[in-house]
Amino acid sequence: MRSLALGAAAAAGSSPAAAASVMRAAWQAVLWHVVVPGLQLAVYVCATMSLMLFLERLYMAAVVAGLWLQRRRKRARRRRRLARDDVRKRMRLDDDDDLESGEDRRCPMVLVQIPMFNERQVYRLSIGAACGLSWPSDRLVIQVLDDSTDPAIRELVEVECARWAGKGVRIRYENRSNRNGYKAGAMREGLRKPYARGCEFVAIFDADFQPDADFLRRAVPPLLRDPGVALVQARWRFVNAGDCILTRIQEMSLNYHFAVEQEVGSACHAFFGFNGTAGVWRAAALADAGGWKERTTVEDMDLAVRASLRGWRFVYAGDLAVRNELPSTFRAYRYQQHRWSCGPANLLRKVLPEILRSDRVSPWKKLHLYAFFFVRKVVAHLVTCLFYCLVIPACVLVQGDVHLPKYVAVYVPAVITLLNAVCTPRSGHLLVFWILFENVMSLHRSKAVVIGLLEASRANEWVVHRQARRRQGYGSHDGGGREEREEVAAAETGGARAGARDGGVPALLRRLRHGLLWPGPLLLVPDPAVGGGLHRRLRLRRRLGAGSTLLRG
Closest by CA position to 113, among listed 138, 143, 133: 143
Residue 503: HSE in the Cβ half-sphere, 13 Å Cα cutoff: 7
pTM of the model: 0.76
Do the domain assignments include residue 255?
yes
Return d(Cα 291, Cα 304) in angstroms, integer.
10
Do the domain assignments include residue 7?
no
**What's the CA angle centered on 174, arms 169 and 176, to 5 degrees?**
175
User: Which residues, given as ranges, of the chain have pLDDT below 50?
Assistant: 4, 6, 8-9, 11-12, 87, 91, 93-97, 100-102, 464-553
Do the domain assignments include residue 213?
yes
Do the domain assignments include residue 225?
yes
Closest by CA position to 178, among listed 346, 343, 294, 335: 294
Residue 196: the pLDDT is 92
Q: At what angle are helices 36-84 and 87-94 packed, to 10 degrees?
A: 150
**Contacts for 130 with CB less than 8 Å, ≥ 6 apart:** 112, 114, 142, 205, 211
**How many CB atoms within 10 Å of residue 58?**
13
Handedness of CA 519, 525, 529, 535 (dihedral sign): positive
Q: Answer yes or no: are the C-beta atoms of 428 and 421 closer than 8 Å.
A: yes
Please confirm, yes or no, whether 401 is among the known catalytic residues. no
Catalytic residue of the set 208, 212, 300, 302: 300
Number of domains in the chain: 1
Do the domain assignments include residue 465?
no
Range of the domain at 190: 106-335
**What values do phi and psi take at 52, rounded to 5?**
-60, -45
**What 3-state class would DSSP assign to 427?**
helix
**Contacts for 248 with CB less than 8 Å, ≥ 6 apart:** 241, 242, 427, 430, 553
Residue 98: the pLDDT is 54
Q: Tell me which DSSP letter residue 534 carries.
A: G
Closest by CA position to 54, among listed 42, 46, 65: 46
Closest by CA position to 36, among listed 409, 405, 399, 410: 399
Q: Answer yes or no: are the C-beta atoms of 311 and 229 closer than 8 Å.
A: no
Do the domain assignments include residue 244?
yes
Residue 229: the pLDDT is 95
**Contacts for 97 with CB less than 8 Å, ≥ 6 apart:** 218, 221
Do the domain assignments include residue 435?
no
Residue 32: the pLDDT is 82
Residue 74: the pLDDT is 86
**What's the CA angle centered on 308, arms 452 and 315, to 5 degrees?**
110
Q: Answer yes or no: are the C-beta atoms of 255 and 421 closer than 8 Å.
A: no
User: Which residues are paired to 542 by β-bridges?
Assistant: 522
Residue 79: the pLDDT is 82
Query: How would you label 301-324 residue by residue, b for 16+ Cβ within 10 Å and e otherwise?
Result: bbbbbbbbbeebbbbbbbebbbbb
Return d(Cα 182, Cα 180) in angstroms, integer.
5
Residues listed for the chain: 553
Please confirm, yes or no, whether 147 is among the known catalytic residues. yes
**What values do phi and psi take at 170, rounded to 5?**
-80, 90
In Å, what is the CA distance from 171 to each residue of 151, 167, 168, 389?
20, 10, 9, 51
Residue 265: the pLDDT is 92
Residue 549: the pLDDT is 36
Residue 86: the pLDDT is 58
Predicted confidence (pLDDT) per residue in 452-480, tens digit:
999 877 767 665 443 333 343 444 444 44
The secondary structure of 124-191, three-state, reads HHHHHHHHCCCCCHHHEEEEEEECCCCHHHHHHHHHHHHHHHCCCCCEEEEECCCCCCHHHHHHHHHH
Q: Answer yes or no: are the C-beta atoms of 229 and 223 closer than 8 Å.
A: yes
Residue 28: the pLDDT is 78
Burial of 118 (0-12, 13-18, 19+ CB in 10 A): buried
Task: CATH number of the domain at 287, please.
Answer: 3.90.550.10
Contacts 24+ apart (CB under 8 A), 409-413: 412/50, 412/51, 412/54, 413/50, 413/388
**What values do phi and psi take at 492, rounded to 5?**
-105, 30
In Å, what is the CA distance from 78 to each residue of 73, 98, 405, 410?
8, 17, 49, 44
Q: Answer yes or no: are the C-beta atoms of 242 and 430 closer than 8 Å.
A: no
Catalytic residue of the set 147, 206, 208, 212: 147
Do the domain assignments include residue 251?
yes
